[in-house]
Structure 1
Amino acid sequence: MNKKNNTMKLVFSDHPVPSSITKSIFLAGPSPRDKNVIDWRHEAVSYLSSASINYDGTIFIPVPEGRFHGTDHDSSTWTYDNQISWECECRHVADLIVFWIPRYIDEGMAGFTTNVEFGEDIHSGKIVYGRPENAEKCRYLDTRMKELKLPVFTSLANTLHHAISLLGAGAYRSNGEVYVPLFIWKTQQFQSWYSNLKLVGNRLEKAKVLHHMKINNSQQVFSYILWSNIWIEAEKRYKENEFVFARTDISTILAYYKDNDDDIKIALIKEFRSPVNNSNGFVYELPGGSSFEPNVDPQLIAKHELEEECGINIDDMSRFKYVGQRQLAATLSSHQAQLYTIELTKEEYEQMLENEKSNRTFGVSEDSEKTYLKMISISQLQDSFLDFSMLGMIYYALYSNK
């Protein structure tokens, strides 16, 4: 469903959290303590509502509506404790958190709580940061942003313009969906998981991004960890004590050779991976991986992985036989594997044996990938260091159609 409000919506700290959102910005930064000092957020709202920008999303303003408009009284529903909880909740909901920090201590714009919020949100993937050239005590914040290779703006207009460029057209979300920020919502990883969640009548009640990893400091998300509260329709209960790890789906290739002794030889990859938990210290797995480019044919990815990790280039795509697609670790990760097989010729098999014998290394060095080719017989599988997911894929690929 795609819905869109064509007008800008202001949500103040004495307003409820909206139940639907298309795109949203939280205006974080110092608030004047003196009611006679005009809040910088008026300039931000004016810029966003201008004819040249015509921003049509939600703006979270962490000030009571009456205070913002200078009506000399705050809402009867406003309390300091409510202000704190509202700010935490709406920063969590917002697609982007724009920190504009005109810090002038003698003018009552110290921004002490802003420092706390900045520290909490710096790794959220949602920060856009700026401050005037002459703002006080922003050096630490500048340095942290530069360490993350994120821009530091010196005008409010440029700060907001960058935020708008990141939001794009947005995406309509309602109810529990509003807790999923745009940069996660738009990923194939999330949409694949979420479409299956809804398919059986379940619903996302609430969520929180605990961690994410982007590719080479771009906006493209490689993986994330999402805490979730899910209504399970079949059981009429909530599940809220787990998280979902998601990464890009992978293509896996089982390359095998039928030897004269009727045994089957399989190409495996030996590689150090940080989570490895066996007495050998290396992961043993089928060649496989994912593409950083969107919408790449999984069969083509399988071909490239066989070349990158085994040194074998096979151009005839008809030789790659599709086996199926399944999840690998359903209690932890939502990603799936596309599985293919290819029967090697004698020449290709001998080339692999030579690659193994010479202890030649493969992989993509810029990704810190270093792999070794290992050939193994079916009779050796159960005594190998292969994990259960790999064993399952191998047996399924070889024997499921027999």
Structure 2
Amino acid sequence: MAQETITVYAREEPPDRWDAAIFLAGPTPRSPEVPSWRPAALAELRARWRGGGRLVVFDPEDRHGIQDDYTGQVDWEERCLHLADEVLFYVPRDLDTMPAFTTNVEWGMWHDSGRAVFGAPPGAPKNRYLLHYAEKHGVPTATDLPGTVAAALDRIGAGAPRSGGECAVPLALWRTGPFQRWYGAQRAAGNVLLGARVAWRFGDQWGLRVRVRVTAEDRVKDGELVVFRPDTSVVVLYRPGPTLDETTVVLVREFRGPGATADGFVHEPPGGSGPAGTDDPPAVALAELAEETGLELPPGRLRAYGDRQVNAAMSAHRAHVFGAEVTEAELAELRSAEPQGAAAEGERTAVEIATFGEIRRRRLVDWASLGMIAGVIEPGNGAGPG
């Protein structure tokens, strides 16, 4: 698609495809004698857009200067804010002509969305509080309009072609591996994404409400929440026993907020997610094993057992499961291990060792962990009594 920039003014219908979308958030003049900053922003965006495709800019000012539909305006702004890949806040506040009271509310709603940039002239009053939260949440900032536009386009990069319901998925989520794997599976099944809206974001975790045409059933499923987070890598350490129930398994005990167990702790095989962008499950597995138990193993000791979703009714992420048989000496080392974990991140883990029979009878682990353990140690699957 040829490079182009399209402006969608207040209450106008967005197009059905684009590579990137920006919302121009900030104060709007209420008097024709006061010039708006948005025409200059549009000119900057047209001059700087190098994505090679279609850039859509949502401008909440009316094309003809008419402001006579308050509810329609608010609804349009809410819709287009959610459609935007980046919300460009520029706040040349003037307490007499552009006090930006509504902008303050919008900033409070979008500053931690992961898709906001903030700019304001150094002399604009009453922006200190906004700048404080920009710094706190890592929002790119600038002191002039060209710098603010550049910050937004820098994060957008080349964009990504999307159409229909795909346009409702912001680039920050669209580009992640977890989303693309989920969406690839949906398309392979013949399903169609009709719409979506981000419900929440926390770091590298997203909650997305989706509207999907389920082609095989000829119906539309609406409103379900899909959680996207990095995949996990899990290591089941075991020592075979005479029977399956006598096979010894290594667990870690850790406090996790969602845990609702009798002792208040979660009991599970060691594992976790790597840093953002990591796509090397065996390396993540070995790193998490060392971090949570203190045991360092060479890569050749791991055996891969594949990956599956952990909770397919809610989260799209997968657990990559590995197994490793340990020696009696290593079991002894693990039994005497001091508490481990990434203390700087609030993680504290303790090694627990139990037989598979004890794990089942004492209900030590959740169903997902029980399935991972059983999948590794079951007879004929490379572990357990043969």
Alignment check: 8 A CA contact 1:21 1:172 kept: yes
How much is the aligned-residue C-alpha RMSD, in angstroms? 2.0
Query: Is 2:160 the counterpart of 1:156?
Result: no
Q: What stretches of structure 1 of length at least 5 have no aligned partner?
A: 68-73, 215-221
State the distance in 1 between where 2:38 and 2:365 align: 57
State the distance in 1 between where 2:345 and 2:301 align: 28
Q: What stretches of structure 2 of length at least 5 have no aligned partner?
A: 382-386
The partner residue of 1:62 within 57, 60, 66 is 60
Match of 1:350 in 2: 332
Query: Which amino acid in structure 2 is aligned with residue 164 of structure 1?
Result: L
Match of 2:83 in 1: 93
Match of 1:339 in 2: 321
SS in 2 for 1:103: coil
Query: Which amino acid in structure 2 is aligned with residue 273 of structure 1?
Result: R
State the distance in 1 between where 2:27 and 2:287 align: 51
Match of 1:329 in 2: 311
| Structure 1: 4+ residue segments shifted above 6 A | none
Match of 2:212 in 1: 230
* Distance verdict in 2 for CA 1:376–1:241, change over 3 Å: same
List aligned pairs for 1:300-311, cutoff 5 A.
300-311=283-294
Query: Is 2:378 the counterpart of 1:399?
Result: yes
Question: 1:346: how far off?
Answer: 2.5
TM-score of the aligned structures, taking structure 1 as reference length: 0.88
List aligned pairs for 1:220-369, cutoff 5 A.
222-259=204-241, 263-315=246-298, 317-355=299-337, 360-369=338-347
How many residues get paired? Answer: 377
TM-score of the aligned structures, taking structure 2 as reference length: 0.92
Structure 1 stretch 255-264 or stretch 119-128: which is displaced more? Answer: 255-264
Question: 1:266: how far off?
Answer: 0.6
Alignment check: 8 A CA contact 1:5 1:57 kept: no
Query: Is 2:20 the counterpart of 1:38?
Result: no
Alignment check: 8 A CA contact 2:49 2:55 kept: no
Match of 2:102 in 1: 113
State the distance in 2 between where 1:12 and 1:236 align: 36
Question: 1:272: how far off?
Answer: 0.5
Match of 2:384 in 1: none
Per-residue CA deviations over 1:263-319 (Å, capped at 9, x if unaligned) read: 31111010001111111110000011111142432112212222111111111x232
Match of 2:178 in 1: 189
List aligned pairs for 1:178-217, cutoff 5 A.
178-214=167-203
* Distance verdict in 2 for CA 1:151–1:7, change over 3 Å: closer
* Distance verdict in 2 for CA 1:349–1:259, change over 3 Å: farther
Alignment check: 8 A CA contact 2:134 2:140 kept: yes
Alignment check: 8 A CA contact 2:140 2:151 kept: no
State the distance in 2 between where 1:82 and 1:95 align: 22
* Distance verdict in 2 for CA 1:400–1:261, change over 3 Å: closer
State the distance in 1 between where 2:286 and 2:105 align: 48
State the distance in 2 between where 1:46 and 1:304 align: 49
State the distance in 1 between where 2:129 and 2:19 align: 33
Alignment check: 8 A CA contact 1:48 1:54 kept: no
* Distance verdict in 2 for CA 1:401–1:20, change over 3 Å: farther
State the distance in 2 between where 1:154 and 1:393 align: 53
Query: Which amino acid in structure 2 is aligned with residue 59 of structure 1?
Result: V
Match of 1:219 in 2: none
